[in-house]
Structure 1
Amino acid sequence: MEMGRCIFYHSGMGVVMAAVVCMTACHSKERGQVSAPVPEISVAKPLVMPVTLHKSYPGYLVSEKTVNLVARVNGYLQSVSFAPGSMVQKGSLLFTIEPTLYQDQVSQAEAGVKSAEAKLSYARNSYARMREAAQSDAISKIDLIQAESNVQQAEAALKDANAQLTTARTNLGYCYIRAPFTGRVSRSLFDVGSYISGAVQATTLATLYQDDKVYAYFNIEDNQYLRMIMASPEGELRGRMPKEVKLSFQEPLSEEYVGRLDYLSPNVELSTGTLNVRAEIDNPKGELKSGLYVTISLPYGENSEAVLVRDASIGTDQLGKYVYLVNDSNRVVYRHIETGELVNDTLREVVKGVDANDRYVTKALLKVRDGMLIAPVESKD
C-alpha cells in the first residue's frame, strides 16, 4: 500500500500507526511549500537635470528709511496730530510743542533787526555828511574816522540782529514737528500735556518708517565668497553676483518676495570671518516690517547633471538621510546618502549615494526592509 510515497508492509496496529505518521508528514510538507506573496512596490529612476545651487542664510529686514521724530526745544506738548501706526504724508504736522514763548522771541528779534537797520541808516547818513564837511576842513579827521567806525559797528549790529532772528525762527520751527517723508508712524512716546526737555538733548517722540521698499541684511562666509570668485572666469565677484535672491519666512505670506542684491561690504569682518550683503525688496502691500527675521536663499553655482529623487522618498535615521534602492535581483538595498538642493519643492538633489541608473523605492518606506524581495512597479507619478 502506498500513500504520499509511504509504503506499508505490515498489517495490524503497526500499520495504523505508520499511516498516521506518514499523513502528518505529508501535510507538513504541503504547508511548507506555500510561500508569502511578493509585494508590489513603486520604484523610479532619478531625474538628471541642471540645477542652480543655493545656500540659505539668516537675515533681518530694515525699512528703506527710518527717522526718529525728535523734539529740540523745551515746552509742553500741545497736540499729537496722528493716529498711532497710521500712514502720514510728507510735510504733515505731527506734534506741536508750546510755540508761544518762541513766537515772542521771534517778535523781539524782528524788533531788534528793525532797530539795527535804523541805527545803520543813521550812521551811514552821518558818515556821508562828515565826508562832505571834511572836504572843506569843517571837521577834524578824528571825527570822520569815528563816523566811519559807527557805520561799521551798526553793520555788525545788524548782522547780529539778523542772526538772532534766524535762531528765533528756527526754534519756533522746532515747535512744529512735521513728517520728513511719507511713511508709517509709530505710537507717540509722550501724551499731550507732557513737558518735553529737548533743548539740551534731542528727545525722541515717535519713529517714522518708509517701507515701500525694505532691505534684507545678511552675512556670507569668507570661504563662500572665495568659492564664488573661483566660479567666475574673470575672478570678479561683482560680475558673478546673482541679480536676485529669494526670501522665506517661518510662515508663508500672501506672495513670494524676491530681493535684488545691491551691496557687498568692501571688507571681511575679522571677528566673524564674514562679509555683509544687502538685498532690496519691493513691499507694495506693507506686509514686510522692519526687524522681521527672514531666510535668504542665495544662488552661488550650477550643477549641470544633478541627480534628483523625490524628497518624500528620503528617510531619516540615526545615520542621517537614506533611500531604499532596488538591485537587479529585485531586492531592497538600504543606502545612506548625502542630500543637497531642494528643487520645485518636491525633488531633492542627491550629492552622494545614488547614481542616475539606480532604481529607488518611491512610496511605502515602512513596508520594505534591507534585503527584502519585491515586485517593482514603475511609478507614473
Structure 2
Amino acid sequence: MARCTLRGLLVRRYSPGLGCALLLLAAGCSDGASAPQSTPPQPPPARVSLMPVQPQSVSLARAYPARVHAVADAQVRARVPGLLVAQAYQEGARVEAGTLLFRIDPAPFEARVAQAEAEAQRAQAQLRQAQREWERVAALFAENAVSARQRDEAQSALELAEAVSATAQAALRAARIDLGYTRVTAPIGGVTGLRAVSEGNLVNVGDLLTSVQQIDPIHVLFSVPEADAALYRRHLTMRADDAAPSQGRLRVKARSSDGLKDMHEGMIDFLAARVDAQTGNVQVRAIFPNPQGELTPGQFVRVSIEGLRIDDALVVPPQAIAQGAEGPVVYVVDDQQQAQPRPVTLGALAEQGQVIGTGLSGGERVIVGGLVGVRPGARVAPSDPPVEAAP
C-alpha cells in the first residue's frame, strides 16, 4: 500500500498558497481504496385495510324517473263525408267501446241503402227468371228439341244473372256499412278528449273528430342502466319458471314526481331486448291499475323497484374498486402479503356495496383502505383486525 510522507520537507516560511498545496497533497496521499456505497433503504410496506370476501345475499332497491303513457290512444276520425249533426258525448268523460260520440247526417246514406236494396231485388228477379229459363231449355235439350247453342246461351244467361245478383248484394252491404259509419262510436274504452269539429260543419273522410285514451290500466315507461336490466331480465325469467309466480315478484311503485306521495303499485310487463347505443340504458315498461285516474298520460313520476334479491353475491365497498388500463380492478392480498391486481366485472350497486360479477372468489382478501400507496406485487402490512364484510 503506497504511503506518502512530508518528512524532510523544509519550509522556510509559511504562505497561504503553500498551505493549500499541502492540504491537496495530503488528500492525494490518502488510502486509494474507495469505501463501498450504501444501498438505499427499502420503503416500509404500505399499511392497508383488508376485508375477506364471502358470498352473501343482497337486496336491491332502485328508483328511476318515469313518464306515464296511455295503454292505447285512438284518434276518432270520420269514415264517411257529410254534415256533422250531433255530438253525443261529454268531453273528458269515460266511455266504453262502442259508445256513440257523433252523428253524421244519415239521410243521403239511407237513400243509397234504399237504392241498393232495389237493385238487389231486381237482380234477384232476373236471377230467378234465368233459372226458370235454364230449367226449360235443359229439359228441351234432353229431348233434342233445342240446339246445343240455345242450351249454352241459357246457361250463360243464368251465370250472368248470378254474378249481377252477387254484385248487387255487395253494393247493398257497402251502402249499409256507410250508413253505419254515420254513427261515430268509440273504438276503445277510455277517456274522451276535446272535440275537433263542432256540429254543423261538413267533414270529409279522415277528418279528426276527437280522441279516446285508455288509462285503466295505464303504462309507465322508464330507462334503467344495462346492469340493472340484466338483473330484471334474470328475475323475470326465474319468475316465469316458478311454480308459484306470486313469490319473488318484482314490485313497482309509482310515486309523485317529488317522491312524497305513493300512487299505485304495478308490475313490469316489458323489457327491451336492446341497449341504447348512446345512453347505455334499456327501456322498461310497467303496467299499473288506474281506476281513479290518478295517473294521467304525459305525467312525470318516480318509480321504485323492490323485491330484487341476489344470492351468493360477492360484495366489496365502492372504494375498493380501482381503475386499471383495461377496466376496473381490485387488489387481492395473497399468502405472501403481496398485493395483486385482479380485473373484475361490476354488477349492481347494492346497499351493502358494489356487487362483483366475475374476477373474485369467496374467501379472498381485498384491500379496502390505503390503496394510494399500493403497487402491484408489493408487500403490504394489513391492519389488525381486518374489516368485516357488510352484512
Can you list the C-alpha shifts for 1:105-160, whole angstroms capped at 9, x where unaligned? 11111111111111110001000000111122221110110000001001111111
Q: 1:188 Cα deviation (Å)?
A: 0.6
- Could you list the per-position Cα deviations for residues 32-69 of structure 1 after superposition, in whole angstroms to 9, with x for gaps in the alignment? xxxxxxxxxxxxxxxxxx97422222221122332221
Where does residue 148 of structure 1 map in the other structure?
Answer: 155
TM-score (norm 2): 0.59
Identical aligned residues as a percent: 28
- Name the CA distance, whole Å, in 1 between partners of 2:172 and 2:278: 52
Question: Deviation of residue 204 (structure 1)?
Answer: 2.0
Corresponding position: 1:209 with 2:216 = no
Confirm or deny that 1:222 pairs with 2:226. yes
What is the alpha-carbon distance in structure 2 between the residues aligned to residue 266 and residue 118 of structure 1? Answer: 62
In structure 1, give the amino acid aligned to 2:213: Y
d(CA) in 2 for partners of 1:224, 1:88: 39
Q: Deviations over 1:76-109 (max 9, x none)?
A: 1111111111122343211011211111111111
Q: Which residue of 1 aligns with 2:49?
A: none
Equivalent position of 1:86 in the other structure: 93
- Paired with 2:79 and 2:131, the residues of 1 have a C-alpha distance of 40
Kept in 1: contact 2:254–2:262 (CA 8 A): no
- 2:121, 2:260 → 1: CA distance? 64
Alignment correspondent of 1:125:
132
SS at match of 2:294: coil
Quote the Cα distance in structure 1 between the aligned partners of 2:260 and 2:152: 81
Q: TM-score, normalised by structure 1?
A: 0.60
CA distance in 1, matches of 2:286, 2:157: 64
Distance in 1 (CA, whole Å) between partners of 2:110 and 2:98 is: 21
Shift of 1:271: 4.6
Q: 1:144 to 1:301 in 2, by over 3 A?
A: same
Aligned partners of 2:60 and 2:232: how far apart in 1? 12
Contact 2:66–2:300 (CA under 8 A) maintained in structure 1: yes
Distance 1:113 1:74, change over 3 A: same
Equivalent residue for 1:346? none
Distance in 2 between residues matched to 1:278 and 1:246, nearest whole Å: 12
Deviation, 1:350, is 8.4
- Give unpaired runs (5+ residues) of structure 1: 1-49, 307-339, 342-348, 353-381
**SS of the residue 1:268 aligns to:** coil
Pick the aligned partner of 1:54 from 37, 58, 61. Answer: 61
Distance in 2, matches of 1:254 and 1:100, equals 54
How far does the alpha carbon of each residue in 1:309-342 deviate from its partner, in whole angstroms, 9 at most, with x for none? xxxxxxxxxxxxxxxxxxxxxxxxxxxxxxx98x
Structure 2 counterpart of 1:266, one-letter code: A
For residue 289 of structure 1, give the secondary structure of its aligned residue in structure 2: coil
Deviation at 1:287, TM superposition (A): 1.2
Aligned CA RMSD, in angstroms, stands at 3.4
Whole-Å Cα distance in 2 between the matches of residues 149 and 77 of structure 1?
47
Within the alignment, does 1:106 sit opposite 2:121 as a pair?
no
The equivalent residue for 1:188 is 195
Match of 1:9 in 2: none
> What does 1:156-175 align with in structure 2 at a 5 Å threshold?
156-175=163-182
Shift of 1:206: 0.8
Higher gyration radius (CA): 2
Q: Equivalent of 1:63, from 49, 70, 73?
A: 70
| Structure 2 gap ranges (5+) | 1-56, 243-247, 316-348, 355-391
The residue aligned with 2:256 is: 249
- CA distance in structure 2 between the aligned counterparts of 1:57 and 1:255, rounded to whole angstroms: 14
* 1-structure distance, mates of 2:276, 2:240: 19
How many pairs align?
260
Q: Name the counterpart of 1:287.
A: 294
Q: Does 1:275 align with 2:279?
A: no
